[in-house]
Amino acid sequence: MPDAIPNDSVGLVTPSTQHFEQSLTLESGLSLPSFDLVYETYGELNAKKSNAILICHALTGDHHVAGYHSMDDKKPGWWDAYIGPGKPIDTNKFFVIGLNNLGGCKGSTGPMSINPATDKPYGRDFPIVTVKDWVLTQTMLADALGIDSFAAVIGGSLGGMQALQWSIDYPQRVKHAVVIAAAPKLSAQNIGFNEVARQAIRSDPDFHDGHYYEHNVVPRRGIKLARMLGHITYLSDESMRAKFGRELREGKINFNFDTEFQVQSYLQYQGESFVDRFDANSYLIMTKTLDYFDPAKEYNDDLAKALEKTDTRFLVISFTSDWRFAPERSREIVKALLDSNKSVSYAEIKANQGHDAFLIPNTDYQNVLSCYMQHVEDASQ
Amino acid sequence: MPDAIPNDSVGLVTPSTQHFEQSLTLESGLSLPSFDLVYETYGELNAKKSNAILICHALTGDHHVAGYHSMDDKKPGWWDAYIGPGKPIDTNKFFVIGLNNLGGCKGSTGPMSINPATDKPYGRDFPIVTVKDWVLTQTMLADALGIDSFAAVIGGSLGGMQALQWSIDYPQRVKHAVVIAAAPKLSAQNIGFNEVARQAIRSDPDFHDGHYYEHNVVPRRGIKLARMLGHITYLSDESMRAKFGRELREGKINFNFDTEFQVQSYLQYQGESFVDRFDANSYLIMTKTLDYFDPAKEYNDDLAKALEKTDTRFLVISFTSDWRFAPERSREIVKALLDSNKSVSYAEIKANQGHDAFLIPNTDYQNVLSCYMQHVEDASQ
């Protein structure tokens, strides 16, 4: 392994594409004639095929969960801190799969893909997908890889919602669900923030009703605003205070509208850099996926009832300073699991980074996850 | 008094304009050759001129604090619940003044006013004003009205910041400061939200670098987004949950980007209606006024030191569910006052409406304010 790559990394990895030449009917009633899912794997599938772990990504994540694509990569996959040899999700023991969800913009079929009906990109015509749809397509990927049952499905934020949905829709195919920094459904405030982000994108004159690809533009202004706003909700007031406070870029106020405070500079940078790495239509779809998630709905708003039939065992994790999906929201999940007599471990991790904490190295979090993964390993033998 | 106007209202009121034919040098170093302040008054100034109360407005408030402008008005002034005969700020006892601050868009000189140097609206050339500038212009209005000293200066949010600044800059001219739902300075998160709002306005193609009046347009998209976002920060997660929850407009999900959840509808309505009643340049300026407010800065970041020389007595009020300027922020003010041995009363009012609670009728809040105003009255005899 090259010198520049740390020893506890999964190393250089290459994404694969699984093509599904079959029509897929979505929860909306719409269907796709065929589709691709891009995925990566780390570690080896054992002979019993009992050590597979599925990692589900959050709003703007993708299949590149761990390792490096090339020696030039500045950063590894988005959850590299937690996946690798000797790490909490130990690739010496587990066969780990990360995928880009349907509707995404990192290789799986989504709004940027060519719509065979028109020979043009789907754009806004790409159907809105749900967490349930994602989980269905994930079972299809599992089938293609010969995996009957996952040792665990794991995810943070929107990824945690997928883990929860797995336990409801396919309890026989998932032994453990690790639901991190999630919520059983979005609050009005959560939906409100999503709506502002969507309005920012959709009201950008370069949006062209979602068919901006054909105009060779992207709704830069809108996607930048959406990301700036998103970022505030990913951080905590406390972490922003610690990171930026009221620090001024030039040490003084200039009485103009230039970027004066460091926090302005940070948010603008985050917004700008997002424009080049994420598709606006995918962002619109995935915020809707979040808004729609509500597994208790078809059980008369009773989450315990929704979880009644599952045999999956659960680890639920929340972070003290997370106000996007606060610990109270995780406790709703825990309470529903207890009410339906399920096996659940719960840890509220002290962390000041807000919602982002689920992505960041933290000893308590690592220990809790490592410890639970030991149980998962024991159960997968 | 007409039947339609309640008995405890100040009734029909008419704004006045005070013209200042003198150059005003602002904190920025820039100056205005002359300016107007629009104001309203309720109640009667007593012979000793000792019963005057100044009400300072928040970000999007104005001089129309109480009463009605015409019999057709659907709503009274923005703090009508607290000002009137027999109300906490009792106009049978006090002479109450509300003004539109400099840089505003409701009649006082601001970006929409004609710049005498160009004979065109100031637009973006209107200087950024500070809380200190506002307080200075408020002393000039007091001079014009023959008021040497206010029995109290009162305000919520950005209005509370003005009351605090009064006690620091003109302690001999303000006997009591009532600082409601405020903070001693904005946090990085507060500035972050303001920055997203400003970017939304400034990146709107109809903004024309602040000279949109000349193009006969307004940056509708931007100002709408700014207001939608602002609104989320004015409400609490709890109150949004109670008010909207996940209620759907049509009782079902439609798998499209139309307005589906009630909260989307509410925010869009709030955003749309704001476009017609507030000027984008004023919004930009006033969010900067907020960002810049930091009275402790010139005292080595020691608020207690900043307040050391004041003789003003204080009432500080916060609201439990306010996360824009949370109770912790009010406690910082209270602690600084205690550290500098000042007279301060503090009440943390239980209210679930978030930051907006400072505008809404609430028995505890009314009682605390009424009780304190009795002290103010006694001191003003």
Radius of gyration of chain A (CA): 21
Closest CA to A286 of A108, A142, A71: A108
> What distance in Å separates residue A201's CA from the closest CA in chain B?
10
CB within 8 Å: A263 and B191: yes
Q: Catalytic: which of A321, A322, A330, A380?
A: A322
Average pLDDT of B58-84? Answer: 96
Average pLDDT of B109-132? Answer: 96
Which residues of chain A lie closer than 8 angstroms to B354, CB-CB?
none
Q: Is A30 on the interface with B (CB under 8 A)?
A: yes
Digit-coded pLDDT (tens) for A347-373: 999 999 999 999 999 999 999 999 999
Whether A34 and A22 have beta carbons less than 8 Å apart is answered as yes
Q: Is A49 left (phi over 0), alpha (psi -120 to 50) or beta?
A: left
* Confidence band for A1, pLDDT divided at 50, 70 and 90: very low
Is the predicted pLDDT of residue B4 greater than 80, yes or no? Answer: no
CB within 8 Å: A284 and B28: no
Two tokens at A110?
Answer: 């989504």
Closest CA to A222 of A236, A233, A208: A208
Two tokens at B291?
Answer: 């960002």
Digit-coded pLDDT (tens) for B168-177: 999 999 999 9
Side-chain-side CA neighbours of residue A293 (13 Å): 31
Average pLDDT of B322-351? Answer: 98
Closest CA to A125 of B248, B253, B255, B260: B255
Burial B338-370 (b: 16+ CB within 10 A, else e): eebebebbbbbbebbbbbbbbbeebeebeebbe
Q: Is B229 on the interface with A (CB under 8 A)?
A: yes
Nearest CA in chain A to B259: A195
Pairing relation of β-strands A120-121 and A114-115? antiparallel
Two tokens at A217?
Answer: 């533009």
CB within 8 Å: B244 and A30: no
Two tokens at B98?
Answer: 């509300």
Two tokens at A58?
Answer: 């959050």
Q: Hey, which bits of chain B come out as E strands?
A: 16-20, 24-25, 31-32, 35-42, 52-56, 83-84, 89-90, 95-99, 114-115, 120-121, 152-156, 176-180, 313-319, 344-349
Digit-coded pLDDT (tens) for A72-127: 999 999 999 999 999 999 999 999 999 999 999 999 999 999 999 999 999 999 99
CB within 8 Å: A232 and B189: yes
Which residues of chain B lie closer than 8 angstroms to A237, CB-CB?
187-189
Which residues of chain A lie closer than 8 angstroms to B282, CB-CB?
none
Whether A241 and B187 have beta carbons less than 8 Å apart is answered as yes
In three-state secondary structure terms, B139 is helix
> What distance in Å separates residue A88's CA from the closest CA in chain B?
32
Is the predicted pLDDT of residue B333 greater than 80, yes or no? Answer: yes
Please, what is the Cα angle at B68 between B64 and B73, to 5 degrees?
Answer: 110
Distance CA A153, CA A161 (A): 10
Which residues of chain B lie closer than 8 angstroms to A198, CB-CB?
257
> What distance in Å separates residue A183's CA from the closest CA in chain B?
14
CB within 8 Å: A268 and B240: no
CA dihedral A93, A95, A96, A102 (to 10 degrees): -160
Nearest CA in chain A to B28: A255
Q: Which residue has the tokens 């004003």?
A: B129
Whether A41 and A17 have beta carbons less than 8 Å apart is answered as no
Average per-residue pLDDT in chain B? 96
- Residue A311 DSSP code: -
Distance CA B149, CA B177 (A): 12
What is the pTM (predicted TM-score) of this model? 0.96
CB within 8 Å: B188 and A261: yes
A153, A162, A185, A311, B124 from A374: Cα distances, Å: 15, 22, 29, 19, 62
Q: Catalytic: which of A90, A355, A356, A380?
A: A355
Catalytic (active site) residue A19: no
Residues 142-181 of A with CB under 8 A from B: none
pLDDT at position B18 is: 98
Q: Is B361 on the interface with A (CB under 8 A)?
A: no
What type of residue sits at position A162? Answer: Q
Is the predicted pLDDT of residue B2 greater than 70, yes or no? Answer: no
pLDDT at position A3 is: 60
| Residues of B annotated as catalytic (active site), given as ranges | 157, 322, 355
* Confidence band for B374, pLDDT divided at 50, 70 and 90: very high
Whether A352 and A239 have beta carbons less than 8 Å apart is answered as yes
Q: Is B30 on the interface with A (CB under 8 A)?
A: yes
CB within 8 Å: B240 and A185: no
Digit-coded pLDDT (tens) for A63-87: 999 999 999 999 999 999 999 999 9
Distance CA A238, CA B87 (A): 39
Q: Which residue has the tokens 């959560």?
A: A190
Which residues of chain A lie closer than 8 angstroms to B295, CB-CB?
none
Whether A206 and A212 have beta carbons less than 8 Å apart is answered as yes
Which residues of chain A lie closer than 8 angstroms to B206, CB-CB?
none
pLDDT at position A314 is: 98
How many beta-carbon contacts under 8 Å exist across A and B? 143
A109, A132, A161, B122 from A102: Cα distances, Å: 6, 11, 15, 50
What type of residue sits at position B368? Answer: V
- Residue B98 DSSP code: E
Two tokens at A366?
Answer: 């690592």
Q: What is the largest CA-CA distance in chain A?
A: 67
Q: Which residues on adjacent β-strands are paired with residue B36? A: B19
Residues 263-292 of A with CB under 8 A from B: 263-264, 267-268, 271, 284, 288, 291-292
Catalytic (active site) residue A343: no
Interface test mutation site (partner A, options B31, B194, B248, B255, max chain A beta carbons within 10 A): B255
Is the predicted pLDDT of residue B1 greater than 50, yes or no? Answer: no
Count of Cβ atoms closer than 10 Å to residue A256 Cβ = 12
Closest CA to A75 of A89, A64, A84: A64
* Confidence band for A275, pLDDT divided at 50, 70 and 90: very high
A20, A57, A63, A73, B213 from A39: Cα distances, Å: 13, 11, 5, 18, 52
> What distance in Å separates residue A300's CA from the closest CA in chain B?
14
Digit-coded pLDDT (tens) for A249-267: 999 999 999 999 999 999 9
Residues 320-339 of B with CB under 8 A from A: 323
Closest CA to A317 of A308, A302, A327, A309: A327
Whether B151 and B380 have beta carbons less than 8 Å apart is answered as yes
Nearest-by-Cβ selection for B187 from A205, A237, A260: A237
Whether A55 and A66 have beta carbons less than 8 Å apart is answered as no
Closest CA to A229 of A265, A258, A260, A268: A268
Would you call B178 exposed, middle or buried from its count of C-beta atoms within 10 A (0-12, 13-18, 19+)?
buried
Closest CA to A66 of A55, A164, A278: A55
Q: Which residues on adjacent β-strands are paired with residue A314? A: A177, A344
Digit-coded pLDDT (tens) for A182-229: 999 999 999 999 999 999 999 999 999 999 999 999 999 999 999 999
Count of Cβ atoms closer than 10 Å to residue A114 Cβ = 11
